[in-house]
Amino acid sequence: MEIFFLGVGETCDTAHGNSSSILTTSNGTRIMLDCGFTVPHQYFRTVEDPTRLDYIWISHFHGDHYLGLPLLFLRLWQLGRTKPLTIVGQKDIEEWVINLLEMAYPTFSRRIGFPFKFIAISPRATAHIAGMKWSTALTQHTQYNLGLLLQDGNKKLYYSGDGRANTRVRRLIQGCDFAIHESFNMVDTYPYHGSITSTLKLADEVDIGQVALVHLDHNLRKNEIQTIQRMVQDRPNTLLPVAGDRLNF
């Protein structure tokens, strides 16, 4: 699998954009993991052949994770897309997305040049989509957020969306190969966000192969970057990615 980081920041991070990644699977399927405010411009600026997008995963309905969808759809339409686009997420995903599109561009959903397909996954359920297993767990967050484990053959990737890992998440991601995990603060300050410290501890306790720290508070990243970089350097399996980073695992 290949991961391309479109953005690694939280809502207000003007330097690093909203956290989002493009996952390319072993069979060439391309999946976008969340689509916040800043994501479409970065996607169309940096991704080769942007019309080759097969699936979008939406972890939850906070703006920095899904409010970029109307612009993404509009630009794909302008580029002449006709292939169906599948959007995967929690219950009511279709209602949330269509209402958002109608609010942003009234009547556009009735004349867009490609059809949508929606797939809803319940917590602790597993779906088989695009030759992969998609398994979810409800995280500890202020909004209903699903952490997603994708299994492509023997490789497993976990994407947290937002929220602190709980017992359900720990069971789900035990021994996974790679995790992209929100790490908002240095330590656990807020009960509904993870932190750098808790993410590193989680990686050790559930035996994660590699972990990428994303969704850092922009002030933390600005003011404590040297400390954070030293922490990462001391752990060879820990990454502090920036937009544009690409890796295979």
Task: Determine which one of 13, 34, 64, 152 is catalytic.
Answer: 64
Alpha-carbon distance 156 to 212, whole Å?
Answer: 14
* Cross-strand bridge partners of residue 147: 137
Structure tokens of 125?
Answer: 């359920």
Alpha-carbon distance 229 to 178, whole Å?
Answer: 19
DSSP letters, 131-191, are TEEEEEEE-BSSS--EEEEEEETTEEEEE--SSB--HHHHHHHTT-SEEEEE--BSS--ST
Residue 5 CA, distance from chain mean position: 9
Helix segments in the chain, DSSP class H = 39-46, 63-66, 69-78, 93-104, 167-173, 196-205, 218-233
The reply to whether 245 belongs to the active site is no
Q: Catalytic residue numbers?
A: 64
